Chain A
Amino acid sequence: MTLRYLFPLLLAAAPLAASAQVAEAQTRLKTAVTEVLAVADRTANRGALPERLRPVLQKYVNFDTMTKRAVGPGWRQFTPAQQQAASKLFSTLIIRSYSGKFTPGEHPDITYKPAVSLGSDRVDVPTSMVYKGSHYTVVYRMEQMHITDVVIEGVSLVANYRSQLDAQFKKGGANGVISSLTQSVSRPQ
Chain B
Amino acid sequence: MKYHELSLRLFLLAATPLLTDCSTQAARTALKPTAEAAATKGKAAEKAGTLKDDELDEYATAPDISDPLEKMNRGTFWVNNQLYTFILRPISKGYTLLLPRPVRKGIDNAFENVKYPVRFVNCTLQGKFKRAGQETGKFVVNTVGGVGGIFRPAESIPTLANLPEEDTAQTFAKWGIPNGPYLVLPMLGPSSLRDTVGLAGDYALNPINWPYLYWFGSRSKHDWVIVPPLSNTLRSTPAQMENYDSITKDAVDPYISARSAYSQNRAEAEKK
CB-CB nearest in chain A for B271: A154
Q: Are A152 and B31 in contact (CB under 8 A)?
A: yes
**Of the candidates B62, B64, B246, B256, which one forms a contact with A156 in the assembled complex, judged by CB atoms under 8 Å apart?**
B62
CA distance A70 to B264 in the complex (A): 15
Within 8 A of A (CB), among B254-272: 256-257, 259-261, 264-269
The answer to whether the Cβ of A158 comes within 8 Å of any Cβ in the partner chain is yes
Q: Are B252 and A161 in contact (CB under 8 A)?
A: yes
Q: A69-B54, A159-B60 are in contact. Are A154 and B253 (CB under 8 A)?
A: no
Give the shortest distance, in Å, between A122 (CB) and chain B (any CB): 6
CB contacts (< 8 Å) of A152 on chain B: these are 31
Q: Are A165 and B55 in contact (CB under 8 A)?
A: no
Inter-chain CB contacts under 8 Å: number? 108
CA distance A68 to B51 in the complex (A): 14
The answer to whether the Cβ of B85 comes within 8 Å of any Cβ in the partner chain is no
Within 8 A of B (CB), among A111-164: 118-120, 122, 128, 132-135, 141, 149, 151-156, 158-164
CB-CB nearest in chain B for A97: B250
CB contacts (< 8 Å) of A162 on chain B: these are 60-61
The answer to whether the Cβ of B59 comes within 8 Å of any Cβ in the partner chain is yes
Q: Are A133 and B105 in contact (CB under 8 A)?
A: yes
The answer to whether the Cβ of A184 comes within 8 Å of any Cβ in the partner chain is yes
Q: Are B60 and A93 in contact (CB under 8 A)?
A: no
Q: Are A97 and B249 in contact (CB under 8 A)?
A: yes
The answer to whether the Cβ of A96 comes within 8 Å of any Cβ in the partner chain is yes
Q: A75-B55, A159-B62, A160-B261 are in contact. Are A118 and B45 (CB under 8 A)?
A: yes
Q: Are B264 and A160 in contact (CB under 8 A)?
A: yes
The answer to whether the Cβ of A82 comes within 8 Å of any Cβ in the partner chain is no
- The CB with the most chain B CB atoms within 10 A, among A101, A135, A152, A160, is that of A160
CA distance A127 to B33 in the complex (A): 20
Give the shortest distance, in Å, between B47 (CB) and chain A (any CB): 10
Q: Are A73 and B265 in contact (CB under 8 A)?
A: no
CB contacts (< 8 Å) of A135 on chain B: these are 162
CA distance A122 to B57 in the complex (A): 13
Q: A73-B55, A160-B261, A161-B252 are in contact. Are A153 and B268 (CB under 8 A)?
A: yes
**Can you give 16 A-B contacts (C-beta < 8 A)?**
A69-B60, A118-B45, A141-B59, A153-B268, A154-B31, A154-B33, A154-B264, A154-B267, A155-B31, A156-B59, A159-B61, A159-B260, A162-B60, A163-B257, A184-B250, A184-B251
Instruction: Identify 11 new A-B residue pairs, CB closer than 8 A, beyond the known A149-B60, A163-B257.
Output: A69-B57, A73-B56, A75-B55, A118-B48, A154-B268, A155-B260, A159-B59, A163-B259, A163-B260, A164-B260, A168-B253
